[in-house]
Each structure stands twice: as C-alpha cells, then as structure tokens.
C-alpha cells in the first residue's frame, strides 16, 4: 500500500503563492483563526491513520459559517485544495492534509445551538463533539444514538463526513439514520440548507448523499440531529463461546430470527485478553470468543428478549452467560469494549480494518481472516460490531520493521477484498479516506466509480475539496 | 396550477421519427413487450394524479434487466425521453408521460428472486407489488415495513422512485430506511449495482440518492430490501378528542416524550365520517378528531407503552379511549384508515396534499389549514400520518366546475407553502412529480435547486429521464 499511498502532486501555482495566500487569509479572518508557522502546523499533519503525514500550507479555524464561506470563496477562486478537519480522529486518513492544502478545522464551531424536545432534535455546530450532544440532553432523558469509540473527541462534522457508527447502531442506525439536516458551504462559498426538522425532502436526497461523502461535496457547518429518549433500563450480557465460529454463527441466528438488540459486540480470545488486561472489565478468560449483547427497555422487555437470545446461544453451545448486576459493572463492560483500540496500542502497533459482510457470512469471513493472518505470520485481534456485520480485525505488527509493516498492509488488503468478495463492503464506519482508496476498484466497476466521480464533479468541478481521498489517484477524469 | 402544469414542448426530432422508433423498438424487444397502437396506449396516459394526461409515443414492458438496458441504450442514443412506470399509482403525476416519450413499464418484472432470512433480506424485481413481498415472507413470520395505502397495487420500483411511506413508517422508517441495494440501468444502458446485503457503502451513498429521485437518475430493475420479524402482537387503539387542535397537541407530546409507537394516524371529523360510512370501522362519531395509535410487542410491552400514551392523552382531555378487542376489529380499523382516499372519492372529487411539518407545528398548521380552506369556501378532510408530521389534507371540490377546481389547486398550493414556512417540506411520500414542481422554488433557494439539477445532469446529461418532473420547467440550465 505504501506505494499507493502517495499523494497527488502539489499544485505548483498554489505552492509558489504560499506567502500571498497566507496574507490573503490574514485579511479574511481574525488573527487567531489562522495558523501558518511550520512549527504550529505539526499537530495538523496527520490524523489517527498515523502512517502518513504532510504539513499543510496553512490551517484556518473559523468560528462562523460566514468565515467558512469566505475561505471557500477564496480557495475556490484560486484553485487551492481544502481539507476539512473535525477532531482528526479518522482511522482512514480522511483528515490528512497535503502540502498545497488549507486545512479547514471546525473545532471552534463547537456550540449546541438549539435543543427542541417537541421535535426531538438538536441543532449543533459541526465542531461539537459526539458525546457532548448526549451530555447536553442527558439530564432531560434523551441522547444522540451513534456512539463511535472515539466519541469523547470526535466531532459531529467528522461523523457526518464518515457516516460514523458505533456499538449501539444496531438498533438505532448510524449517522445517516440520525441526521435530519445540515447547513453546508458549497465549494464556491454559497451556503445551502439540506433537510430540516421534517420527514423526507422534496427532490433528491442530497442530505443522504452528503452524509458519508468525506468532505468532498462541501463543508458542513451545522447539523440538525435526532434525539432519542433513553430507555427505561439497559443491560449488557456476556455470552462466552468455545470458538469464534460458534459466536459468529450465534450472531447470524439471532439477527436471522429477527431479534434486534441494541448492540451485539464480538471479541475473540486475543481481544478479550487485551481488553481485560487494560480495563479489568470482568470478561471471562476461559472462552474462545465473547459476545456483549445489550438489551434495553423495561425489566420485562429485557427478560423477554434475553430469553430468546439465550435459547439461540444454547444451540451454539454457549459456555458462559453472565448478566451484569449493577450499573458499575455495565459501565466496566462497555469501558473494556470501547477502549479496545487504545488497549491494543499498548501491546503492539496495529492497523484496524473496517470491512462489512452480510450476516450470513460472519463465521466464514472470520475463518478466512485467520487463514490470511496465519499465512502472513502475523497476529490479529477481532473486536467488532457483529450485529451489523461490521468487522474490525486489528492486525498487530511492528512499525519499526518495514517488512512487518508491509505484510500487515498486504494482509489487511486481502481481508478487505475477502469482505467484498463475500458480498460485503470495504468500509462500515471509518470511510475510505486515503487508506482504502485503491481498493475501490475491487468494490466497484468502472461505470460505478465513474458515476460516483461524476457526482463529485457536480459539486466540485475542480476537485479542490479533500482531493487525495476516496477515489484511486489513477484514472480520474 | 393549470398553467404551470403544461408539459415540456415535445422534441420535434423525436416526434417526426415515431414510425422509425417503433420499428427499432420492435427489433429490440419481443413482440409482446411493445405497445404502440393509440387505443392501447390509453391506459398509460396518466396515473393517480388524473387531472393531466398525455398519450406517450410508445410503451415498452420489458421482462429483463438486459431488455431495459437495450431500451435505454437506444433511447439515449437518439435523445428520446423515457418515463418509467410502476403501477401508475403516483398521486403527484410521477408516471404521467408526454407525447415524445417512451413509457418504460416495469409491471412484468414482478418476481421475488430471493429470500434470505439469515440476512433478513429479499431481492425482488422492480415491478413486484409492495404487499406481495410481505405476503411471500409472512408465512415465515417476516414482513416488509413500508405500507403505502396503495400497497396492493403499487410496485417497489415506484416506492423507490418516490421514497414511499405508509402508516407503519413511524417506527420502521420509509422506503429509504428499508432499502439495502438496487440494480440500476443508467441512462446510457450501463448496468450498475448500488449497496447490497451489508451496512454502509464505500464512497458516496448513491443508493440513498437514488431513493426518491423519481426515475430521473436511472431505471431500477431489482431491489434488495430489509425484512423485519413480525411483532409478537399489535394493537390499534382509538383516541377521540374534542378538537383537531387537542389531537395534534397530543401527538406532539407523545413524540416529544420520546414514545415511538408503530403508527399514529390522525383523522378529523369529516375524515372520520367519510371512512366510517365506507368501512363501518367502528370509529366514534361524537368526537372532533381521532388518533389511531398502534402499539406492538408482548402484551406487557403494549400495556406499558399504552399507559404512557393514555396519560399524555388525558392531559389533552381525551374523550374516548378504545382498545380493539380482536383481530377482526383491528383489521377493520386499518381498513377504514387505508381506504380513506377511495372513500373520499365516493362523495366528492378531491386533491390530496402531502406536506410534512415539524411535530411541534402540527396544531398550528391544522388551524391555518382550516383558515385557508374556509377562505376559499371549500371543504377539507384531514387524514394523515401524524407521528411523522406527514399531513394529507384532502381538499374536496367539484371537478366539473373549473372555478372550483382552480380554487382547490390554489388552496392546496397555499397549504403546501404553509408547511414549508412552518419549517416543513412540500412532500412526505408522494414525491414532487408534476404536481409540486413549481413550488420547489418556495422550498429551495436558487443555489439549492441548481445543486440538485447539477446532480441530475451528472446522471443524465440530456435530461431524457422523466424530464417534465420535479424541477420547474422555467430556469433549467
């Protein structure tokens, strides 16, 4: 992949005008909204896909939609690439800049503008963190459903760019299912509104199109999101199985029976050990794979759903069924799961894949993944949103050994191709970014890719918005 | 609106080649897939928006995706407009043809191709009727959720074109929330696949964009849809109120409390009387407005949710609360509701509006609607999906009186503008079609409309797909 990860060559007309561009941006924005000293640009040179980095030309940190519009109007006029950035937590390199780009950071637009319970909506600025929405409305018994593991840091703007998910999306859907409207600055600085506090849209669903478009169709500055009432109660339950295959088959049968709990999370033995060592969550260590199944509602509702799930789990020779007994225990169980990536980072370097597969193929893909990893002589920890078929193999390697790193990348590519070949998809919630750009040809035919690129051009004719991402660099029109 | 309803002028280059086009289509398709005798074209001259009609140039009724592709390749080469058609039940004129158009009817592509319970999916051809999906999987305890009132006749292809809804969409979402993939023929005959049996899509969400695009971005020939397990039980409950205002405020408070039943349907007094006279559903006749609230799940779950709803209804001085006692009674209650349009047609001509409003504005918009109707000296019956804020005022008039018809159209336009001004939208589930085309300027700014049209052009540069629909005829690029 290293070879494929190269960036587009910088636009000479932009690089050569660096000083003038910075002077122009200084005129456009308050002094504290512009960063251009090389030393100060370093925090913006990469995101959570840390393998690759580039210092941008400058960083702007606007406070208002009008300032975003002014920057876009300017950059559009002079053909200057713009890379939008939320909190920089992208795992696919979605926020990695390039030398000729202005990074447009939304972190200062972090206010909750309105909470409207009658319509179960909140209007927030794009730089608001995911968790702070739920924190704002939690006191009134509501929450915002999508819950990426990075929710403490990641922003709603970034969530919209990547159509982010999370453990609780099995029941409540991912970002696109919880987004009702956006205010967006088009590439030329025009401000448009898409959607709102109402069902449907007249004409095309541009809101749905924008969600997951990785910052290439415009800059979202405000979002109207759906609020959901907190359930009466919620209870994570641990199901331990002999093998990953049995756990995977159990998930397939739960969903196949039409039972939709709030979450079904999967951990294989390496993941259990890594997370337990970090969080002391109380996970059973004598099993080959673990499911965390969360049910919610009244006690009676939880009991009913759980009974159906236990019955199915028994058919797959479940070894351990442990209902958590307290809120503290529940919080620990989720802490262990949500810190899986960080905990893995303590013991090794890793890359995190993000393929999705049809539920019926879960066990098959888990088995094949093991085969691939063994063939490369690597190790893997699987910890993922099983109910959604959204797999996250964490491939462990030594970043100081270039050969090991190359093997990890190759194995990762094989696993993603495996997901696609099984009827799945390259990405569930992390986006394509730089990471999976060249695998798009494995997912799509030339006509399908061409149609996506034509849509992109209908928003951004000169491809200045986040230009190195999503589409293979070769073969662009 | 009559003036605005005029069609695009026919393309002379197409009209003058009529005989040659029919000969060419005869070569492309089996003989029984082509209709071109003027007498036989009559059934295709309009849809359920019967105010306007045009005989098309020809009708093709292909049986395979390859035949659809051949027709598109041909029509694209010669710039011949193509109007896709499902069952012709569109209430906004989405399937009304024009003199220079080939109608592409999908009614013969009506097979369920695959049912896959492990993935809770069905793959169906575009001409399958909505209800037949649920009929196919019902025996195994599953159903397809969106349930337009026309579900006995309307096709999944048409549902995708209009992003159709229905009474039970409050809990389960509309078509876009239940659609996982499509096979689609692009305007030049290229066949692409969007989505599939997996979460998310790599790159842009073209599937979401296509859903609701009114046949202008391509011809959907197959769809992968989500199946849902039937609930343990379901129970419609009737809530009668003194006034429409009280019923509307009650809906706002139910949803505002975060309670999401399966359905909340609203009927005002005229609608109750019309539907009761037709269906003898047992609706109370001594109330000013009625809510049909359906709860589902186990008996305990239904009781719990219902208790919460009854408590809120009491705050709005509910007069009648009647739980239905049997499956027969439940079926009758729904029969009355679902036949509302037909029942209204027995007593008067009507046009059915389809605006959506934020839930918090329900009572306000109901009041204002009454004012508008009174000002025009007309009558209205309101029967709609209240939980979604999707209003359906049925404006009654005499179609044989041109002045009355004009007044009804004007009043309808005022009501839709009212919905938009209240923060809502021109359409909930019927689409823009011909009917609301010229109101798009009231919903959108020039930049917003221009962006939608640019996206359309990215799929269909020459605008041959369903060209008279969605966008105002004036001001197109």
**How many other β-carbons are positioned within 10 Å of the β-carbon of residue B282?**
14
In A, residues 104-163, which contact B (CB 8 Å cutoff)? 116-121, 141-142, 163
Q: Is the pLDDT of residue B453 over 80?
A: yes
Q: Which chain A residues contact residue B228 at CB under 8 A?
A: 258
pLDDT of residue B463: 97
Report the residue from A118, A424, A457 with minimal CB separation from B359: A118
Q: In a 3-state reduction of DSSP, which class is residue A84?
A: strand
Residue from the list B192, B196, B425 with its beta carbon closest to the beta carbon of A201: B425
The pairs formed by A438-441 with CB atoms below 8 angstroms and a separation of 24 or more are A438/A1, A438/A4, A438/A472, A439/A413, A439/B202, A440/A470, A440/A471, A440/A472, A440/B202, A440/B203, A441/A472
- % residues pLDDT > 90 (chain B): 92
pLDDT of amino acid A1: 44
Strand partners, A312: none
The helices-and-strands tally (H runs, E runs) of chain A is: 18, 18
Separation of first and last alpha carbons in chain B: 23
Residue B2 has pLDDT above 60, yes or no: no
DSSP A465: B
Q: Is B257 on the interface with A (CB under 8 A)?
A: yes
* Both structure tokens of A141: 């018994």
Residue with tokens 């208002």, as numbered in its chain: A64
Closest-CA residue in chain A for B470? Answer: A203
- CA distances B76 to B191, B222, B462, Å, are 14, 21, 8
pLDDT of B110 strictly over 60: yes
Contacts of A199 in chain B (CB under 8 A): 165, 174, 356, 388-390, 425, 428
pLDDT of residue A7: 84
Among partner residues A120, A190, A298, which is closest to B258 by beta-carbon distance?
A: A120
- pLDDT for residue A298: 87
Instruction: Name, in order, each residue with C-beta under 8 angstroms of B139's C-beta and a sequence gap of 6 or more.
Output: none
How much of chain B, in percent, has pLDDT values that exceed 70? Answer: 99
User: Are the beta carbons of A184 and A126 closer than 8 angstroms?
Assistant: no
pLDDT at A97: 96
Distance (Å) from the C-alpha of residue B327 to the closest C-alpha of chain A?
Answer: 23
Q: Do B199 and A119 touch (CB under 8 A)?
A: no
What ipTM was predicted for this assembly?
A: 0.94
Six-digit token string for A14: 């932009």
- Among the partner-chain residues A230, A390, A451, the one whose CB lies closest to the CB of B206 is A451
Largest CA distance in chain A: 69
pLDDT number for residue A325: 86
| Closest Cβ opposite residue B119 in set A227, A360, A451 | A360
- For chain B, the average pLDDT equals 95
**With contacts defined as CB-CB under 8 Å, which chain B residues touch A176?**
205, 208
Residues of B in contact with A134 (CB under 8 A): none
Span B142-170, pLDDT tens digits: 999 999 999 999 999 999 999 999 988 99
Q: Do B356 and A199 touch (CB under 8 A)?
A: yes
Whether residues A198 and B423 touch (CB distance < 8 A) is answered with yes
| pLDDT tens digits, B231-262 | 999 999 999 999 999 999 999 999 999 899 99
Candidates 3.10.100.10, 3.30.2350.10, 3.30.1490.20, 3.30.43.10; CATH matching A12-105: 3.30.43.10
Portion 319-358 of A in contact with B at CB < 8 A: 356-358
Q: How far is B212 from chain A (nearest CA, A)?
A: 6
Distance in Å, alpha carbon of B175 to nearest chain A alpha carbon = 10
B119-133 pLDDT tens trace:
999 999 999 999 999
Q: Where in chain A is the domain with CATH 3.30.43.10?
A: 12-105
B461 phi, psi to nearest 5 deg:
-55, -35
User: What would be the CATH architecture of the domain defined by B232-431?
Assistant: 3-Layer(aba) Sandwich (3.40)
Q: What residues 292-311 of chain B have any CB closer than 8 A to a CB of chain A?
A: 297-298, 300-301, 304
Outline where B173-211 has alpha helix (H).
175-178, 206-210
For residue A174, the SS3 value is coil
Question: Which pLDDT value is given to residue B477?
Answer: 64
DSSP secondary structure of A218-254 = -EEEEEEEE-EEPPS-EEEEEEEESSHHHHHHHHHHH
A residues 400-439 lying closer than 8 A (beta carbon) to B: 423-429, 432, 436, 439
- Residues from chain B that touch A191, judged by Cβ atoms under 8 A, are 447
CB neighbours of A195 closer than 8 A, spacing ≥ 6?
A179, A180, A181, A182, A201, A207, A224
Closest of B262, B258, B235 to residue B146, by C-alpha? B262
Q: Give the alpha-carbon dihedral of A219, A224, A229, A231, to 10 degrees.
A: -20
CB contact under 8 A, A423 and B116: no
Q: Which residues of chain B does A227 touch, with a Cβ-Cβ cutoff of 8 Å?
A: 258
Rounded Cα–Cα distance for residues B240 and B320 (Å): 5
pLDDT, average across residues B374-396 = 96
Please report the DSSP string for B87-145 in residue order: SS--SS-TT---TT-EEEE-TT---EEEEEGGGTEEEEETTSBHHHHHHHHHTTTEE--
Q: CATH 3.40.462.10 occupies which residues in chain B?
A: 232-431
pLDDT given at position B286? 97
Question: Measured between beta carbons, which residues in chain B are less than 8 angstroms from residue A76?
Answer: none
In 3D space, the residue among A124, A172, A116 whose CA is nearest the CA of residue A140 turns out to be: A116
From A180's Cα to the closest Cα of chain B, the distance in A is 11
Whether A209 sits inside 8 A of B213 (CB atoms) is no
CA distance A359 to A258: 12
CA-CA distance, A338 to A317, in Å (whole number)?
27
What residues pair up with B193 in beta bridges, in sequence order?
A: B183
The answer for A 231-250 residues in CB contact with B (under 8 A) is none
Whether the CB-CB separation of B348 and B396 falls below 8 Å is answered with: yes
Range(s) within chain A of domains with CATH label 3.30.465.10? 112-229
CATH architecture of the domain with range A234-341? 2-Layer Sandwich (3.30)
Minimal Cβ distance to B445: which of A177, A192, A204: A192
Q: Do B388 and A199 touch (CB under 8 A)?
A: yes
Greatest Cα pair distance in chain B: 69
Parallel, antiparallel, or unpaired: how do β-strands A102-105 and A82-85 relate?
parallel
Q: What is the pLDDT of residues B347-373, one digit of tens each?
A: 999 999 999 999 999 999 999 999 999
Residue B5 has pLDDT above 70, yes or no: no
Domain made up of B112-229: CATH architecture: 2-Layer Sandwich (3.30)
Per-residue pLDDT of chain A (477 residues; tens, 9 = 90+): 454 467 889 999 999 999 999 999 999 999 999 999 999 999 999 999 988 899 999 999 999 999 999 999 999 999 999 999 999 999 999 999 999 999 999 999 999 999 999 999 999 999 999 999 999 999 999 999 999 999 999 999 999 999 999 988 999 999 999 999 999 999 999 999 999 999 878 999 999 999 999 999 999 999 999 999 999 999 999 999 999 999 999 999 999 998 999 999 999 999 999 999 999 999 999 999 999 999 999 888 899 999 999 999 999 999 999 998 899 999 999 999 989 999 999 999 999 999 999 999 999 999 999 999 999 999 999 999 999 999 999 999 999 999 999 999 999 999 999 999 999 999 999 999 999 999 999 999 999 999 999 999 999 999 999 999 999 998 786
Neighbouring-strand partners of residue B240: B290, B320
Q: What is the pLDDT of residue B1?
A: 44
Closest by CA to B218, choosing from B226, B227, B209, is B209
Query: Cβ separation of B258 and A212 shorter than 8 Å?
Result: no
Report yes or no: A287 at the B interface, CB cutoff 8 Å. no
Closest alpha carbon to A60 in A19, A28, A92, A88: A28
Which letter, b or e, does each residue of A86-108 get, where b requires 16 or more Cβ atoms within 10 Å of its Cβ?
Answer: bbbbbbbbbbbbbbbbbbbbbbb
Best B184, B204, B302, B432 member to test A by mutation, with max A CBs in 10 Å, is B204
Angle formed at CA B198 by CA B298 and CA B217, multiple of 5 degrees: 110
Comparing alpha-carbon positions, the chain A residue that sits nearest to B226 is A258
How far is residue A171's CA from residue A428's CA, in Å, rounded to a whole number? 15
Q: Is the pLDDT of residue B113 over 90?
A: yes
**Secondary structure of chain B: what % helix, strand, coil (to 5)?**
40, 20, 40
Fold of A348-421: Alpha-Beta Plaits (3.30.70)
Partner residue opposite A202 with nearest CB, options B142, B198, B426: B426
Q: Determine the distance in angstroms separating the CA of B322 from the nearest CA of chain A, rounded to an integer.
A: 24
The answer to whether the CB atoms of B258 and A118 lie below 8 A apart is no
Q: pLDDT tens for residues B277-335?
A: 999 999 999 999 999 999 999 888 899 999 999 999 999 999 999 998 899 999 999 99
User: Beta strand A349-352 with A393-397: parallel, antiparallel or unpaired?
Assistant: antiparallel
Structure tokens of B233?
């039980």
For chain A, positions 12-41, list CB contacts with chain B under 8 A: none
Q: Could you tell me if B206 lies within 8 Å of chain A, comparing CB atoms?
A: yes
């Amino acid at each position: 992949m290293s070879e494929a990860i190269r960036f587009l060559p910088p636009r000479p007309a932009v690089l050569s005008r660096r000083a003038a561009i910075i002077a122009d941006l200084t005129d456009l924005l308050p002094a504290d909204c512009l960063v251009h000293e090389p030393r100060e640009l370093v925090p913006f040179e990469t995101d959570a896909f840390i393998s690759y980095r580039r210092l941008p030309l400058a960083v702007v940190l606007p406070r208002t939609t009008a300032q975003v519009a002014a920057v876009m109007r300017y950059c559009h006029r002079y053909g200057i690439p713009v890379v939008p950035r939320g909190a920089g937590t992208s795992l696919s390199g979605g926020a990695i800049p390039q030398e000729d780009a202005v990074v447009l950071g939304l972190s200062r637009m972090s206010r909750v503008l309105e909470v409207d319970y009658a319509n179960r909506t909140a209007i927030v600025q794009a730089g608001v963190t995911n968790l702070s929405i739920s924190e704002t409305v939690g006191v009134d018994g509501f929450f915002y459903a999508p819950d990426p593991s990075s929710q403490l840091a990641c922003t709603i703007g970034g969530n919209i760019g990547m159509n982010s998910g999370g453990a609780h999306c099995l029941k409540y859907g991912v970002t696109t299912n919880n987004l009702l409207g956006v205010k967006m600055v088009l590439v030329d600085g025009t401000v448009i509104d898409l959607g709102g506090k109402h069902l449907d849209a007249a004409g095309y669903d541009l809101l749905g199109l924008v969600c997951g478009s990785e910052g290439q169709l415009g800059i979202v500055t405000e979002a109207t999101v759906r609020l959901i009432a907190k359930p009466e109660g919620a209870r994570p339950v641990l199901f331990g199985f002999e093998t990953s295959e049995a756990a995977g088959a159990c998930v397939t049968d739960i969903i196949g029976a039409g039972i939709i709990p709030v979450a079904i999370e999967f951990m294989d033995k390496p993941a259990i050990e890594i997370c337990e060592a970090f969080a002391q969550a109380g996970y059973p260590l004598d099993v080959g794979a673990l499911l965390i199944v969360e049910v919610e509602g009244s006690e009676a509702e939880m009991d009913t759903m759980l009974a159906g799930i236990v019955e199915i789990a028994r058919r797959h020779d479940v070894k351990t069924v442990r209902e958590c007994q307290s809120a503290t225990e529940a919080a620990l169980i989720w802490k262990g799961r949500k810190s899986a990536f960080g905990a893995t980072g303590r013991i090794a370097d890793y890359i995190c894949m993000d393929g999705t597969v049809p539920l019926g193929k879960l066990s098959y893909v888990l088995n094949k993944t093991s085969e691939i990893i063994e063939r490369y002589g690597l190790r893997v920890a699987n910890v993922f949103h099983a109910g959604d078929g959204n797999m996250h193999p964490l491939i462990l390697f030594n970043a100081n050994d270039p050969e090991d790193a190359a093997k990890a990348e190759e194995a990762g590519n094989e696993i993603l191709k495996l997901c696609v070949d099984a009827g799945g998809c390259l990405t569930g919630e992390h986006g394509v970014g730089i990471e999976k750009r060249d695998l798009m040809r494995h997912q799509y035919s030339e006509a399908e890719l061409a149609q996506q690129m034509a849509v992109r051009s209908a928003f951004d004719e000169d491809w200045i918005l986040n230009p190195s991402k999503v589409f293979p660099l070769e073969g662009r029109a």
